[in-house]
Structure 1
């Protein structure tokens, strides 16, 4: 496997130099991942100053390894770890993240997840199918006669945020504002984020939190049949969620419940159209559709990296980690491991190999995976059925938001 010119690999030291903001990389990260699998699947990324894993088995195991966790300050102090104090200019963001399901470890994680989980089990999510179909058809009705569309703003942005907001109990008309807050919020997870990115995220975190706080006050006095009311009024072992826990949980559900799915709709339509394969066969029945969706999740995942802190001394693939070290798992690269997927860079909707790791695994497996899968299994075949002759009208531009992977826009015609 040829090493791309923007990637430097020292196989002896297992060190890699790679600028994640280089368009040659973030436009097509799969090429770099293939080179890493061939030459250095476990490596120290010099620019990020930590170790990363790309091998499927290593990533899959680490996602489930209780020697590693999403947080570290429950077992060690900042002083012990040499960790700097939080920045004052991100205090609202840090407060909103303080009780995030994505960041907590047991027992707090167990308590929060138990209260939320029943809303996202497949049998409950399946009841949303008619609503998703109705919304998708209504959006297509709005642009079908135009014979062209920018798919993200007219379709992909709208469906996931509308559905997760409805589940929680937030009005549809808040959708555009939720998108603006969310886009600012996820700026905190980009590599090489700027002070401007941090200030925008903090400002939106405050506005987002204030809005959710107002919703909580409403639901306390007038409960409804929605997830927010459920979280407020349901106890777990005699305990109720605090207001801060409710705010963090609502924000993470809204962000995680739509951001990745927006990217994945765009990524999936692009890879399907660029493959030139028969979409009639891809979406011939529910089983074929499900396989196609899983293959798009494998080859063009929307979230590429998750980090873990080492909680106790451990060794992975010959690398020794001590308490407080961070290790990164490149989920999107694990999905391309040639030991699991023959010809991993080839889009093959008929694949029936190892499950992709795009939603993670273990206790932090994506709680919204059933909803995301349902949305993709409904809207992708619907688009191709309603718009025969669908094609890409302009070369898609990829967002400079690594380690997320999504398009700036997707212009289509038919």
Structure 2
């Protein structure tokens, strides 16, 4: 496989130059990951000034390695690490992130996750299946007679945000506004974000936080049977969540609870239709559906990269990292490791190989994975059953939001 013009690989130095904003790359990153696996699975990405791991075993072990963590300032100062002071114009975003489950290590992470986790265990989530199915059927009722639709706007955007909002206790009518805030907020995680992206994220954090604070005050006065009331009124070892912790946790649950699943519904429909495999076979029963969903998660994961700080000096794959160094793990590339997956670029739902790493691993394994899997296992069979003649119209447009991977639009007709 020949390297495209935007990619250069030096296997001897393990240095790679790659333009992450090139549409050919983010439109189909799997081809680049295959080249990296062949020539340089652990590499220094020059534009990102950081070491990246793509090998399945390395990514899997580093996700679980307690010598690495999501935060570093709990054990070292900014001065000691040579880190710049926070930008004042990002004060609202930084405050919203300060107590994020995604950014904490034990014991704070343990306390927050324990309070939230019980709402997301599989046996509780399974009760939502009829509600998810009902919402999917209702949405399809709205466009089935049209003979075509743009799937993201009419279907994929709506289901995950509606379900996570209902779980937390936010009215359905807030769905469109939550999407606006969330899209601006997660702009902070894109490669080569602009100052404009950063200011938009800070504005979204301020507005988002203000809305959640109002909701918290309301639930303190009048608790309901929802996750926010549970988080407010449940203690862990004699401690309750503070308002700042409640805001951070609610925002991360809303963002993580729908962004990736929106991408994955679109990605999954695209890869299934482009595979040419008969949907009737892929979704013939519960077991086949589960295998199909897991294979779509493997081959077109919605979140590609997670970063870790070295919490101590450590050697990995012949490289020496100092405390305070940051490394990146490409989950989507690990899912394509030829050492673990035969013919890794092929969509094969009958695989019985390694589990995909799309939801991470270790203490930061995605808390919403049971909900995401339930939504995918519920709505995809309904969509293909209701619209049996579905085909893609036009060229699917991939969003310029790497390191996320999702579609801007997916036109369908039947």
For the aligned pair, the TM-score class normalised by the smaller chain equals: over 0.9
Map of 1:121 onto structure 2:
121
Q: Is the contact made by 1:30 and 1:345 (CA closer than 8 Å) also made in structure 2?
A: yes
Unaligned runs of 5+ in 1: none
**SS in structure 1 of the partner of residue 372 of structure 2:** helix
- Displacement, 1:4? 2.5
> Residue 391 of structure 2 aligns with which residue?
391
Partner of 1:362: 362
Residues 1:272 and 2:257 are matched in the alignment: no
Q: Structure 1: how far apart are the matches of 2:2 and 2:104? A: 40
Structure 2: distance between partners of 1:87 and 1:269? 40
Instruction: Identify the residue that residue 245 of structure 1 maps to in structure 2.
Output: 245
For residue 91 of structure 2, give the secondary structure of its aligned residue in structure 1: helix
| 3-state SS, counterpart of residue 9 of structure 1 | strand
Which residue of 2 is the match for residue 313 of structure 1? 313
Distance in 2 between the 1:203 and 1:5 partners?
37
Aligned-residue CA RMSD in angstroms? Answer: 0.5
Pairwise CA distance, 1:337 = 0.1
SS in 2 for 1:102: helix
How far has the Cα of 1:349 moved from its partner? 1.1
Aligned equivalent of 1:2 = 2
Confirm whether residue 60 of structure 1 aligns to residue 51 of structure 2.
Answer: no
Q: Distance in 2 between matches of 1:157 and 1:315?
A: 42
How many residue pairs get matched? 414
Q: CA deviation at 1:311?
A: 0.4
Instruction: Note the alpha carbon deviations across 1:8-65, whole angstroms, 9 max, x for none.
Output: 0011100000010011100000000000000000000000000000000000000000
| Structure 2: unaligned runs, 5 residues or longer | none
The SS at the match of 2:101 is coil
- Corresponding residue number in structure 2 for 1:135: 135
Report the equivalent of 2:281.
281
Give distance in 2, aligned partners of 1:80 and 1:173: 47
- 1:74 matched to 2:81? The reply is no
Corresponding residue for residue 262 of structure 1: 262
Query: Normalised by the size of structure 1, how large is the TM-score?
Result: 1.00
Shift of 1:230: 0.2
1:219-260 CA-to-partner distances (Å, cap 9, x unmatched) read: 001000000000000000000000000000000000000000
Instruction: Name the counterpart of 1:215.
Output: 215
Secondary structure, aligned partner of 2:323: coil
Structure 1 stretches (4+) deviating beyond 6 angstroms? none
Q: CA deviation at 1:2?
A: 2.8
Q: Write out per-residue CA displacement over residues 67-126 of structure 1, whole angstroms, 9 at most, x where no aligned residue.
A: 000000000000000000000111000000000000000000000000000000000000
Tell whether the 8 Å contact from 1:4 to 1:31 is kept in structure 2 after alignment. no
2:154 match: 154
